[in-house]
Amino acid sequence: MGLFSLFYGIPPTYEPHVQTNKITPVLVNRLLDRNYRMGIFSSYRITIPASLDLTVFARVPNLRCETVIPGPPDPWRKDSAITRQWPQWLDASDSARPFFGFLFYDAMLKQKCPPAYEKRAMVHANAGELEKNHRKYELTMTYIDSLIGSVLDDLIRRDLLSSTIVMITADHGLEFDENHLGFTGHGSAFSDYQLRVPLYVAWPGKATGTVSDKRTSHYDICVTLMQEALGCSNPPSDYSSGNNIFSSVEWNWLAAGSYFNNAVIEPQQVTIQYPTGYYEVRDHRYQPVANRKVSTALADAFSEMSRFFVR
DSSP characters for 14-69?
A: GHHHHHHHTPPPHHHHHHHHTT-EEEEEESS-SSTTT-TTTTTTTT-TT-------
For residues 142 and 149, is the Cβ–Cβ distance under 8 A?
A: no
Is pLDDT above 70 for 132? yes
Give the predicted TM-score (pTM) of the model. 0.94
Assigned domain for 133 exists = yes
Assigned domain for 75 exists = yes
Is pLDDT above 90 for 112? no
pLDDT grade for 120, boundaries at 50, 70 and 90? confident
pLDDT digits (tens, 9 = 90+) for 245-283: 999 999 999 999 998 899 999 999 999 999 998 999 999
Strands 37-42 and 99-104: parallel
pLDDT at 21: 96
Q: Average pLDDT, whole number, for the chain?
A: 94
Helix axes 26-33, 219-228, angle to 10 degrees: 30
Query: Considering only CA atoms, which of 74, 149, 152 is closest in space to residue 113?
Result: 74
pLDDT digits (tens, 9 = 90+) for 27-50: 999 999 999 999 999 999 999 999
Assigned domain for 240 exists = yes
Beta bridge partners of 273: 262, 279
pLDDT at 121: 72
Beta bridge partners of 77: none
pLDDT digits (tens, 9 = 90+) for 47-99: 999 999 999 999 999 999 999 999 999 999 999 999 999 999 999 999 999 99
Assigned domain for 255 exists = no
pLDDT at 110: 84
Assigned domain for 298 exists = no
Query: Considering only CA atoms, which of 28, 18, 55 is closest in space to residue 226?
Result: 28
Of residues 166 and 135, more confidence is placed in 166
pLDDT at 304: 96
Is pLDDT above 90 for 292? no
Helix/strand/coil percentages in the chain, nearest 5: 35, 15, 50
pLDDT at 277: 87
Number of domains present in the structure of the chain: 1
Range of the domain at 150: 2-249
pLDDT grade for 311, boundaries at 50, 70 and 90? low
Beta strands of 47-163 (E only): which ranges?
99-104
Which of the residue ranges 11-15, 51-55, 194-198, 307-311 would you say has the lowest mean pLDDT?
307-311
- Which CATH number does the domain housing residue 62 bear? 3.40.720.10
Assigned domain for 150 exists = yes
pLDDT digits (tens, 9 = 90+) for 178-222: 999 999 999 999 999 999 999 999 999 998 999 999 999 999 999
Query: Considering only CA atoms, which of 112, 200, 189 is closest in space to residue 148?
Result: 200
Assigned domain for 226 exists = yes
Assigned domain for 144 exists = yes
How far, in Å, are 15, 126, 169, 226 from residue 25 at the CA level? 11, 49, 19, 11
Contact residues for 100 (Cβ-Cβ < 8 A; gap 6+) = 31, 36, 37, 38, 39
